[in-house]
Amino acid sequence: MFYSEQKKQITTYNRRTFFLFLLKLSLFTAVGWRIYNIQILDSSKYETLSKKNQIDLEIIFPLRGKIFDRNNILIADNEKVYDVYLIPENTKSINNTLNSLSKFIDIDFAKRRKIIQLTSKVKKFEKIKIFENISWSNLEKIETNKYNLEGIFIAEDHLRIYPYKEVFSHLLGYISKPNQKELSLPFISKMPNLDIGKEGLEKSFNPLLVGKAGQREIEVNSTGRVIREISKVDSIQGKELHLSLDLRIQEYAVNLLQSYRAGSINVINIKNGEILCMASTPTYDPNKIIKKPNKEYWDSILSNSLSPLTNRSLQGLYSPGSTFKMIVAIAALKYGVISSKSTHSCSGKIEFGDRLYHCWKTNGHGKMDVTNAITQSCDVFFYEISKKLGIDKIAKVAEDFGLGQIFDISMPNQKKGIIPSKKWKKTTLGESWYAGETLISGIGQGFVLTSPFQLAVMTSIIASDGKIVEPTILKSKNINFKTNSKYSDEIKIIKKAMFNVVNINKGTAFKSRLQDVKFSGKTGTSQVRSISLSERESDEFRKKEQEWKNRDHALFVGYIPYDDPQYAISVIIEHGGSGASTAAPIAKQVFNYIHKLNL
């Protein structure tokens, strides 16, 4: 009995052992087969996955391309700077490290709190930028005492700098981090943290200046720590930009404008269209915009009622005043309204409809032909020919001479201005054109609005006998411009008058003539508010000093030398008074400076 029971237990045990053996064998077989699949059959697949998990690519940002003036003077560069980083893993106490660092760099409570918050959000071995672009003195202190600064290290970076500060600010613009919309641009899509041009040429030439990113292939462990560098492809610096601008002339012009609240000076090489100067004030320092913190400086710019960010040369729109009379004269001559010998008598005013239109000279100029009317800037003469000519013909000629146009000079945000016509008024304002508005337009007032740069182009076309001068801001070779020969005869008459403006006794800019070299031009005074009849006839009003904002804008356009035009200029001083007393003397100084440079 006992034996049979024992035998039965042994049989049951053997059966269980056998089943357990089969189960273990099955498990080992399954595991073995899986290992075989992973290591042998699918080894290439998992090798690829393993590599992908262990290899990271780091972007190496390129240096931005440099910008030079026409004489290869560097006007936009990259300066080596130093940033301070913290690696939490390398310090026993974040607070102790910050306390030690605060002996050399001020760390206020808000800054300290922000740093501590960042350390809690990143991996311990990740570096955190806590200061950027530190001063040399702070750099020396940190380097000298780095053994007391656990977890702190210095890294090299580059900062865009503009050596001439305000001189080129409206032209070059500045750089900053891209916004959400800009991140989709092709040249920046793979480098989201790279600074890009936000205004001016920095913006227009972003694709050229940005350069090409490099990359570093690194091996990391499962937590993301860098183990070693596997390969590296260096970035390629952005291409250089060589401009037509001349630092000497630009700087000279900006300095002249500093004596006034706001204004613009533009100089164009008539022969090849190169822009030598495009000065606008008030201006700003792009270096202060780039460097952080910059809120205080930004606030001062944005709160300035004169709008320092506005490039008045391209974005400022002004009534051209008497500088527009040359266009009206060309149109009247072209369409046969007058000849070079036609005259009108100026008594100081003209009656048209139910109102009087006054000349700037109260007692009038007497008998005027077109040459004398431009020389002495007689308003009545131009009232008379405008009403016969009509606004549409004036508009057509104005457009042929570059007014109301946007130019292909890679400068963003240009303003087109207004060259009015009957169609323009109907389309824009839904109103019919009145004949009296033609008279006002005939002296460059009313709806007529142009930019200072447009006036410089207009003057270049006149000076070159009708060549279609195409301005450029890039340094170029001599260009053969097409000539609009249909105005050749008319331009000859206008050029004679422009010479007289500066070089004969009755010319409005006679006091601004030069002795060494003669130039030609035309003054302009743009009225900014209506003057009542009582004010106009009041001696007290004429003697009274006007508030700045109520003064007329002062304008001058011209070219030098008169017999072989090389350079054209436009000058506008906001609320500067008369063109003869303010703008013409400035043009004289610029022309004299260019003459002495012997370009």
Summarize the confidence of residues 71-95 as an average pLDDT. Answer: 88
Summarize the confidence of residues 480-506 as an average pLDDT. Answer: 94
Q: Does the structure show a pLDDT above 80 at 443?
A: yes
d(CA 94, CA 122): 14
Q: Does the structure show a pLDDT above 50 at 309?
A: yes
pLDDT of residue 132: 81
pLDDT of residue 358: 93
Summarize the confidence of residues 404-419 as an average pLDDT. Answer: 95
Q: How would residue 589 be classed by pLDDT, with cut points 50, 70 and 90?
A: very high
Summarize the confidence of residues 62-84 as an average pLDDT. Answer: 94
Listed in sequence order, the residues at least 6 apart from 302 whose beta carbon sits closer than 8 Å to its beta carbon are none
Q: Contacts for 540-545 with beta carbons within 8 Å, 24 or more apart?
A: none
Q: Does the structure show a pLDDT above 60 at 539?
A: no
Q: Report the percentage of the chain scoring pLDDT > 90.
A: 61
pLDDT of residue 292: 76
Bridge partners of 352, per DSSP, are 355
Phi, psi of 381 (to 5 degrees): -55, -40
Q: Does the structure show a pLDDT above 50 at 533?
A: no
Bridge partners of 219, per DSSP, are 55, 228
- Between strands 275-281 and 343-346, the pairing is unpaired
Q: Report the percentage of the chain scoring pLDDT > 70.
A: 87
Q: How would residue 8 be classed by pLDDT, with cut points 50, 70 and 90?
A: low
Other Cβ atoms within 10 Å of 155 Cβ, number: 12
Q: How would residue 463 be classed by pLDDT, with cut points 50, 70 and 90?
A: very high
Phi, psi of 455 (to 5 degrees): -65, -35
Higher pLDDT, 457 or 227: 457
What one-character-per-residue DSSP string does 226-262 give? Answer: EEEEEEEE--BPPPPEEBS--HHHHHHHHHHHTTSSS
Query: Where is mean pLDDT largest: 33-37, 102-106, 283-287?
Result: 283-287
pLDDT of residue 5: 58
Task: For residue 320, give both structure tokens.
Answer: 């051209």
Q: How would residue 123 be classed by pLDDT, with cut points 50, 70 and 90?
A: confident
Look-up: residue for tokens 């020969």?
Answer: 485
pLDDT of residue 541: 44
SS3 62: coil
> Element (H or E) spanning 214, and its range?
strand 214-220
Closest to 561 (Cα-Cα) out of 498, 500, 518, 599: 518
Look-up: residue for tokens 């913006």?
Answer: 203
SS3 479: coil
Angle at 107 between CA 106 and CA 111, to 5 degrees: 145
pLDDT of residue 324: 98
List, in sequence order, the alpha helices (H) in 102-244: 109-121, 136-144, 169-172, 200-204, 206-209
Q: How would residue 91 be classed by pLDDT, with cut points 50, 70 and 90?
A: confident
pLDDT of residue 293: 74
Higher pLDDT, 124 or 337: 337
Bridge partners of 554, per DSSP, are 525, 573
Amino acid at 513: R
Cis upstream peptide for 178 (omega within 30°): no
Q: Does the structure show a pLDDT above 90 at 218?
A: no
Query: Where is mean pLDDT largest: 56-65, 173-182, 358-367?
Result: 358-367
Q: How would residue 11 be classed by pLDDT, with cut points 50, 70 and 90?
A: low
Phi, psi of 421 (to 5 degrees): -150, 175
Other Cβ atoms within 10 Å of 83 Cβ, number: 17
Q: Residue length, the chain?
A: 599
Summarize the confidence of residues 407-434 as an average pLDDT. Answer: 96
Please give the mean pLDDT across all residues of the chain: 87
Closest to 568 (Cα-Cα) out of 543, 541, 587, 589: 587
Summarize the confidence of residues 447-465 as an average pLDDT. Answer: 97
pLDDT of residue 56: 66
pLDDT of residue 153: 80
Closest to 326 (Cα-Cα) out of 554, 500, 566: 500
**Do the Cβ atoms of 501 and 374 come closer than 8 Å?**
yes
Summarize the confidence of residues 352-364 as an average pLDDT. Answer: 92
Other Cβ atoms within 10 Å of 18 Cβ, number: 10
pLDDT of residue 7: 57
Higher pLDDT, 415 or 26: 415
Q: Does the structure show a pLDDT above 80 at 362?
A: yes
Convert the pLDDT of each residue in 177-213 to its tens digit.
888 888 888 887 777 778 899 999 999 999 999 988 8
Sort 227 into a burial class: Cβ within 10 Å, 0-12 / 13-18 / 19+. Answer: exposed
d(CA 20, CA 26): 10
Higher pLDDT, 499 or 62: 499
d(CA 501, CA 559): 12
CA distances from 173 to 253, 257, 393 (A): 18, 19, 39
Query: Where is mean pLDDT largest: 37-51, 244-258, 471-485?
Result: 244-258
Other Cβ atoms within 10 Å of 349 Cβ, number: 17
Q: How would residue 570 be classed by pLDDT, with cut points 50, 70 and 90?
A: very high
Query: Where is mean pLDDT largest: 90-104, 153-167, 238-252?
Result: 238-252
pLDDT of residue 543: 47
pLDDT of residue 13: 56
Higher pLDDT, 132 or 242: 242
Task: For residue 184, give both structure tokens.
Answer: 């989709």
Query: Where is mean pLDDT largest: 141-145, 408-412, 556-560?
Result: 556-560
Q: Does the structure show a pLDDT above 90 at 147?
A: no
Task: For residue 553, give both structure tokens.
Answer: 């804008």
Q: Does the structure show a pLDDT above 90 at 559?
A: yes
Sort 451 into a burial class: Cβ within 10 Å, 0-12 / 13-18 / 19+. Answer: buried
